[in-house]
Amino acid sequence: MACAVARQLASRQGRGAGWTFDSAGTHAQAGKRLDARAQAVLLQRQYTPLKTRSRPVTMQDLDRFDLILAMDEANLVSLKRLAPPGAHSKLRLLLSFAPALGVLDVPDPYYGDQAGFERVLDLIEAGVKGLLASSSSWRA
């Protein structure tokens, strides 16, 4: 969900060409499709769901990207275990870019209902908007 939102919000701001977004997980089951509830929530808000399948984070991701965002503290800890110490500065929580929310973790909505996915999308939108607004503070 976050990747679809980031791509489209960056594109709407005319910044899509200068940014590369991808999605991977610390506990991803390779090849799994987007949850139908996530897809429905994205479509309701005019986002085009990505047609990619899930994949795990790789060492190449740590080299390739300037910034790697985790949805929650547990995923951030997993990323820090995977990453060499020199790459730790690239690792952040998505919601660290939306401090006014007063939360840092995006909850996993998988075991809940549609409302959980809607709440997650609210949080993702706030985090991505904050990321795009503050890009000069972390981009080289």
The verdict on residue 137 lying in a domain is no
Q: 46-100 pLDDT, tens per residue?
A: 999 887 788 999 999 999 999 999 999 999 999 999 999 999 999 999 999 999 9
The CATH number linked to 21 is 3.40.50.2300
The verdict on residue 92 lying in a domain is yes
Indicate if the pLDDT at residue 140 is higher than 50.
no
Burial class (CB in 10 A: 0-12, 13-18, 19+), 106: buried
- Which distant-in-sequence residues (6+ apart) come within 8 Å of 83 by Cβ? 62, 68, 90, 91
Give the pLDDT confidence score for residue 40 in this predicted structure. Answer: 95
Please give the residue range of the domain that contains residue 116.
2-131
Q: In the chain, pLDDT over 90 holds for what percent of residues?
A: 80
The total number of structural domains in the chain stands at 1
The verdict on residue 112 lying in a domain is yes
pTM of the model: 0.92
